[in-house]
Amino acid sequence: MHEIHPGAIHLPSFLSLDEQVTLVARCRALGSAPAGLYRPTVRGGGRMHVDLCCLGMHWNPVEYRYEAVRSDHDGLPVQPLPSDLAALARRVVEATGMTIAPDICLMTFYPEDGGLGLHQDKDERPETLAAGVPIVSLSLGDSARFRVGGFRRKEPLETVVLASGDAFVLGGPSRLRYHGVPGLLAGTAPAALRLAGRFNLSFRQY
């Protein structure tokens, strides 16, 4: 366990290879079900460089708010957050000494040339943010370069490589740190996953 900043914690190899294989199958099933993965257009009209599928509540990438149906896309009700996935997120957070009652998961799929710009996650309830209730992310597939900065966009960034099976927790005083994924290390996924690209599961408490 590496604490990059207080509350910003990298847990390498949190998941066994068997757990990763099972989770990738879950991601594929969730992603191809109704209200599955789609490629969002964001505020301003640009397209994201990941596919998105929200569980529990939909994060609207045009309005930056959570909702029950995907009003920016197909109007479908979001799929529920499976209780075993919520329990897995709690298990990660408890390993860091923090707590979470997860009710949302943003599942993203990064193609080999995918990425995610520098951002803060601040659309959850103000009380949740103020309490520093963490976000927990699980990485599956190709490794990603993950950047963690400060509380303003221009502050210095540290880069961590998130490999398949790693968890990363951003909570406590680090809850609102800027972060992003400038790119993947293509071809680095464990062969057993039969995956080109990367799934990320980002659990939150609304």
Residues interacting with ligand SIN, by CB under 6 A?
Answer: 106, 108, 116, 137, 144, 146, 162, 179, 181, 200, 202
Which residues sit opposite 94 in a β-bridge? none
User: If contact means CB under 5 to 8 A according to the sort of partner, which of Mn ion, ligand SIN, none does residue 205 touch?
Assistant: none
DSSP secondary structure letter of residue 69: B
Residue 60 or 200 having the CB closest to ligand SIN: 200
- In the bound state, the residue with its beta carbon closest to Mn ion is 121
Please name the residues in contact with 185: beta carbons below 8 A apart, sequence gap of 6 or more. 142, 143, 144, 145, 161
Residue 66 or 146 having the CB closest to ligand SIN: 146
Tokens matching residue 116: 């995610």
User: If contact means CB under 5 to 8 A according to the sort of partner, which of ligand SIN, Mn ion, none does residue 189 touch?
Assistant: none
Residue 19 or 121 having the CB closest to Mn ion: 121
CB 111 within 8 A of CB 189: no
| Binding residues for Mn ion (CB under 5 A) | 121
Tokens matching residue 142: 């190709």
